[in-house]
């Protein structure tokens, strides 16, 4: 929180100096990056740059040019373009000023339908490959020459057109643009896994180094506040790609026209054949044989079509208005119709109301569902007013990738924050340690003088205490101050090392009862308002670990329990023992409890339900890291209004 206030104060200092507008150059015409709708520029980059302009108190103006012109302008300090958004390969840095990574992407190979899959770079040997000039694919290939025939193009769409004209064999295209070009080029398909990974950055020339510093500061503030995550979910979240109904209707109309023409031709042919059968009875056997051959071909074609539908990994089901299942490819039907899936609110999902909604409104609907640790995306689209098609796709991997991306973003922010905190706190802590050491040595030297002076004046007092007692109090006080200063230093060091959970620690055998007792003493001021019970197994179970770190975990659990309970009626229970060969430490309270959504996120960095009153969201995430380092297990049981039980499980033997 202090870091955010400092950043706001720092940014406000640029108000007078940064009155000139910042010209943001854009080139893309496809969502979600940037595009123009009814004369208004919009998209992820445009909205993010606009929000950065608000934080840095710059006026942002959007200017649209070609990609090649923007690349030339941003390298020219005298041009009218200050900042552009481009993609850089993750392993190669551009020479210009560039911001922190904005969002990850990748490039892969695209070919015509029916062409072989591209498994690696060697599969591109001797092929004609379209490369967009100035793109991050182009930048990457400058340092990684490949054995293929390079064809330069100005746009990825130009490469797709050349692919249809068979002037190139492969197009290496960036993911977001290619995904939105493919509906317009149905004969083009994705033909490889990602070959190049890149990241979007804001780029400017060296003259704008100060401006880029302001952009980075604002970008980090957006990430810390969670607003960056909201923009990512808004523009890149699962389900943003909708079915193009107009294109689908046009295709259905043309297919219907084709089938009708074919049917009419068949009727004429049948009528003609009937006339001829009357005249050519001798050819009956031959005509029957031809009919059987035609039916066999139709049957084979039907089987091939069915095999294609059956091969789709997602569930595809067709329902009518009476919610009767007309057809399916047999994938995930039982899961969908058994009410085993849960919606975003944790309630059992019911398919029937959603089918009625789509049929009544004739608008497609999408839902995010989950079951245990698996996630699904459900899409329902109307067909012809009386039927709907349901698509059920498992998105567990995409969900895990989003979580990993969020975790990486938070860890990066925490690394920057902890470095500043450590520097600001360790300096005065070091001064305290050195000063109290000098104070302790001075007290040892002054003891003989104190004793001598006491003999001279038996009634002499030090701070209202007898000299001997005063000396003991001063010794105890200096030891307490030194221990507290070193504890502060240890905690700050833990915060610095949070992003390095695999760091080796010197674990020793310890008694878990001692850990609980010390934790209770250190939190005596918080727990004195509640009823406290301890059920500690004797003799105390022993484990291998770091006593101070485990005390930090138990202290956090005790403090969270105190925040959840009401004074005078709250009851806190701490217990220890051995269950099924595992040593446990258990902290229970009768507080407000937690719902399912909160339980899923309590171990995430920066997540807290107490931010309005100063909560940082770091306590339980640090505890989770400490328990993992001790190769332990952390179990949580909680219900709203019924309290919470936290159980820590450890092995009695040292972990290898």
The secondary structure of 70-124 as a DSSP string is: HHHHHT-TTSS--EEEEEEETT---SSEE-S--EEEEEEEEEETTSPPB-SGGGG
| Tens of pLDDT, residues 432-455 | 877 887 777 777 777 788 778 878
Lowest-confidence range among 251-265, 583-597, 600-614?
600-614
Same domain membership, residue 544 and residue 424: no
Establish if 346 belongs to a structural domain: no
Same domain membership, residue 638 and residue 621: yes
Element (H, E) at 623: helix 619-629
Establish if 123 belongs to a structural domain: yes
Lowest-confidence range among 189-193, 347-351, 402-406, 575-579?
402-406
Q: How confident is the model at residue 250 (pLDDT cuts 50, 70, 90)?
A: low
**405: containing domain:** 398-499
- Token pair listed for 139: 């930048």
Mean pLDDT of the chain: 80
d(CA 169, CA 183): 19
In the chain, the N- to C-terminal Cα span, in Å, equals 39
Our measurement of the distance from residue 464's CA atom to the centroid of its chain's CA atoms, rounded to an integer in Å, reads: 61
Dihedral sign for Cα atoms in the order 561, 566, 567, 573: negative
Q: What is the dihedral of CA 407, 408, 409, 411, to 10 degrees?
A: 80
Same domain membership, residue 634 and residue 524: yes
Same domain membership, residue 204 and residue 70: yes
Q: How confident is the model at residue 608 (pLDDT cuts 50, 70, 90)?
A: low
Establish if 274 belongs to a structural domain: no
Q: State the helix-helix crossing angle for 512-522 and 547-564, rounded to 10 degrees.
A: 50
pLDDT at 498 (0 to 100): 47
| Tens of pLDDT, residues 125-160 | 999 999 998 888 988 888 888 899 999 998 888 999
* Top-confidence residue, 476 or 544: 544
Segment 490-516 shows an average pLDDT of 68
SS (H, E, C) 295-324: HHHHHHHHHHHHHHHHHCCCEEEEEECCCC
d(CA 559, CA 574): 13
CATH of the domain at 173: 3.40.190.10
Q: How confident is the model at residue 241 (pLDDT cuts 50, 70, 90)?
A: very low
Q: What is the dihedral of CA 588, 589, 590, 592, to 10 degrees?
A: -120
Bridge pairing between strands 83-89 and 22-26:
parallel
Our measurement of the distance from residue 105's CA atom to the centroid of its chain's CA atoms, rounded to an integer in Å, reads: 14
Establish if 246 belongs to a structural domain: no
pLDDT at 562 over 80: yes
Q: What is the dihedral of CA 91, 94, 98, 104, to 10 degrees?
A: -40
Question: 239-262 burial, b for 16+ CB within 10 Å, e for fewer?
Answer: eeeeeeeeeeeeeeeeeeeeeeee
Same domain membership, residue 219 and residue 97: yes
- Token pair listed for 397: 């991997």
pLDDT at 185 (0 to 100): 92
Segment 510-514 shows an average pLDDT of 89
Q: Cβ neighbours of residue 365 under 8 Å, at least 6 residues apart?
A: 354, 357, 358, 379, 380
Element (H, E) at 394: strand 387-394
Establish if 620 belongs to a structural domain: yes
Lowest-confidence range among 29-38, 154-163, 612-621?
612-621
pLDDT at 575 (0 to 100): 92
CATH of the domain at 565: 3.30.565.10
**CA-based nearest residue to 384, from 239, 241, 242, 248:** 248
pLDDT at 581 over 60: yes
Establish if 375 belongs to a structural domain: no
Q: Using omega within 30 degrees of 0 as the cis cutoff, is the peptide bond preceding 470 cis?
A: no
Segment 628-650 shows an average pLDDT of 88
Same domain membership, residue 93 and residue 7: yes
pLDDT at 497 over 70: no
The secondary structure of 130-188 as a DSSP string is: EEETTSHHHHHHHHS--SSEEEEESSHHHHHHHHHTTS-SEEEEEHHHHHHHGGG-TTE
**Cα separations (Å) of 221 from 51, 56, 211?**
11, 11, 15
* Top-confidence residue, 605 or 258: 258
Q: Domain end: 137, 167, 194, which one?
A: 194
C-beta neighbour count of 603 within 10 angstroms: 17
Same domain membership, residue 540 and residue 568: yes
**CA-based nearest residue to 502, from 647, 635, 631:** 631
pLDDT at 606 (0 to 100): 63
Q: How confident is the model at residue 284 (pLDDT cuts 50, 70, 90)?
A: confident
Same domain membership, residue 88 and residue 169: no
**CA-based nearest residue to 515, from 491, 488, 536, 494:** 536
The greatest distance separating any two alpha carbons of the chain, rounded to the nearest whole angstrom, comes to 149
* Top-confidence residue, 298 or 149: 149
Q: How confident is the model at residue 243 (pLDDT cuts 50, 70, 90)?
A: very low
pLDDT at 246 over 50: no
**CA-based nearest residue to 216, from 11, 448, 424:** 11
d(CA 654, CA 639): 34
Q: Looking at the 3D structure of the chain, how many domains does it have?
A: 4
pLDDT at 3 (0 to 100): 37
Establish if 393 belongs to a structural domain: no
Establish if 392 belongs to a structural domain: no
d(CA 58, CA 21): 6
Per DSSP, 511 falls in state: E
Place of tokens 């302001």: 214
pLDDT at 249 over 60: no
Same domain membership, residue 87 and residue 132: no
pLDDT at 70 over 80: yes
The secondary structure of 456-469 as a DSSP string is: H-TT--BTTB-HHH
* Top-confidence residue, 428 or 304: 428
pLDDT at 149 (0 to 100): 93
pLDDT at 569 (0 to 100): 84
Same domain membership, residue 541 and residue 620: yes
Q: Domain end: 499, 533, 556, which one?
A: 499
Map residue 628 onto helix, strand or coil.
helix
**Cα separations (Å) of 611 from 552, 615, 624?**
21, 4, 19
Is the full-model pTM beyond 0.75? no
Half-sphere exposure in the Cβ direction for 209 (13 Å, CA): 3
CB distance 370 to 378 below 8 Å: no
Same domain membership, residue 456 and residue 421: yes
Q: Domain end: 236, 263, 296, which one?
A: 236
Segment 286-298 shows an average pLDDT of 82
| Tens of pLDDT, residues 195-237 | 999 888 888 988 888 888 889 998 999 989 989 999 888 887 7
- Residue percentage of the chain with pLDDT more than 90: 12
d(CA 172, CA 109): 5
Q: How confident is the model at residue 242 (pLDDT cuts 50, 70, 90)?
A: very low
Q: How confident is the model at residue 618 (pLDDT cuts 50, 70, 90)?
A: low
Q: What is the CA radius of gyration of the chain?
A: 35
- Token pair listed for 44: 């992820």
Same domain membership, residue 134 and residue 94: no
| Tens of pLDDT, residues 79-133 | 889 898 888 887 776 678 888 888 888 999 999 998 889 988 998 999 999 999 8
């Amino acid at each position: 929180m202090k870091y955010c206030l400092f950043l706001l104060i720092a940014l406000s200092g640029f108000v007078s100096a940064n009155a000139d507008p910042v010209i943001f150059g854009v080139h893309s015409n496809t969502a979600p990056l940037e595009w123009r709708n009814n004369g208004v520029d919009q998209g992820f980059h445009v909205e993010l740059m606009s929000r950065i302009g608000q934080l840095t108190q710059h006026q942002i103006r959007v200017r649209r040019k070609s990609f090649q012109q923007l690349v030339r302008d941003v390298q020219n300090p005298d041009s009218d373009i200050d900042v552009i958004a481009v993609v850089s390969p993750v392993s190669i840095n551009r020479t210009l000023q560039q911001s922190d990574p904005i969002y990850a992407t990748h490039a892969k190979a695209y070919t015509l339908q029916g062409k072989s899959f591209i498994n690696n770079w060697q599969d591109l040997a001797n092929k004609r490959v379209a490369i967009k000039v100035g793109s991050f694919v182009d930048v990457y290939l400058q340092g990684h020459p490949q054995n293929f025939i390079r064809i330069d193009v100005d746009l990825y769409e130009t490469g797709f057109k050349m692919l249809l004209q068979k002037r190139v064999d492969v197009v290496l295209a960036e993911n977001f643009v290619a995904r939105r070009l493919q509906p317009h080029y149905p004969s083009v398909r994705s033909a490889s896994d990602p070959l190049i990974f890149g990241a979007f950055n804001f780029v400017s020339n060296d003259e704008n180094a100060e401006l880029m510093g302001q952009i980075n500061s604002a970008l980090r503030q957006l990430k810390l506040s969670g607003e960056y995550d909201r923009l990512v979910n808004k523009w890149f979240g699962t389900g943003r790609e909708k079915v193009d109904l107009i294109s689908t209707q046009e295709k259905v109309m043309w297919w219907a026209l084709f089938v009708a023409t074919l049917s009419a031709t068949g009727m004429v042919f049948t009528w003609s054949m009937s006339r001829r059968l009357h005249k050519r009875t001798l050819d009956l056997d031959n005509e029957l044989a031809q009919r059987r051959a035609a039916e066999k071909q139709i049957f084979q074609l039907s089987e091939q079509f069915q095999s294609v539908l059956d091969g789709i990994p997602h569930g595809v089901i067709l329902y009518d208005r009476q919610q009767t299942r007309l057809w399916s490819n047999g994938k995930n039907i039982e899961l969908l119709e058994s009410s085993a899936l849960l919606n975003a609110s944790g309630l059992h999902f019911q398919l029937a109301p959603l089918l009625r909604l789509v049929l009544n409104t004739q608008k497609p609907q999408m839902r995010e569902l989950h079951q245990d640790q698996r996630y699904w995306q459900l899409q329902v689209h109307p067909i012809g007013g009386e039927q709907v098609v349901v698509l059920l796709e498992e998105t567990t991997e995409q969900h895990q990738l989003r979580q990993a991306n969020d975790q990486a973003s938070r860890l990066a922010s925490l690394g920057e924050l902890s470095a500043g905190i450590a520097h600001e706190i360790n300096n005065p802590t070091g001064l305290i340690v050195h000063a109290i050491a000098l104070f302790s040595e001075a007290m040892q030297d002054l003891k003989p003088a104190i004793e001598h002076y006491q003999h001279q004046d038996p009634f002499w007092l030090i701070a209202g205490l007898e000299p001997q007692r005063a000396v003991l109090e001063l010794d105890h006080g200096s030891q307490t101050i030194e221990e507290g200063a070193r504890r502060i230093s240890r905690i700050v060091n833990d915060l610095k090392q949070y992003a390095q959970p695999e760091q080796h620690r010197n674990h020793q055998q310890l008694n878990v009862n001692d850990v609980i007792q010390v934790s209770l003493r250190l939190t005596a001021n918080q727990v004195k308002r509640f009823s406290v019970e301890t059920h500690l197994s004797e003799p105390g179970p022993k484990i291998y670990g770091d006593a101070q770190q485990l005390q930090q975990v138990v202290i956090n659990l005790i403090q969270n329990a105190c925040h959840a309970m009401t004074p005078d009626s709250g009851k806190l229970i701490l217990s220890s023992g051995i269950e099924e060969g595992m040593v446990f430490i258990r902290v229970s309270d009768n507080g407000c409890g937690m719902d399912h959504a909160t339980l899923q996120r309590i171990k995430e960095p920066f997540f807290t339900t107490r931010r309005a009153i100063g909560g940082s969201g770091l306590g339980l995430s640090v505890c989770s890291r400490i328990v993992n380092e001790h190769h332990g297990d952390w179990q949580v049981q909680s219900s709203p209004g019924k309290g919470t039980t936290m159980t820590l499980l450890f092995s009695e033997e040292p972990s290898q």
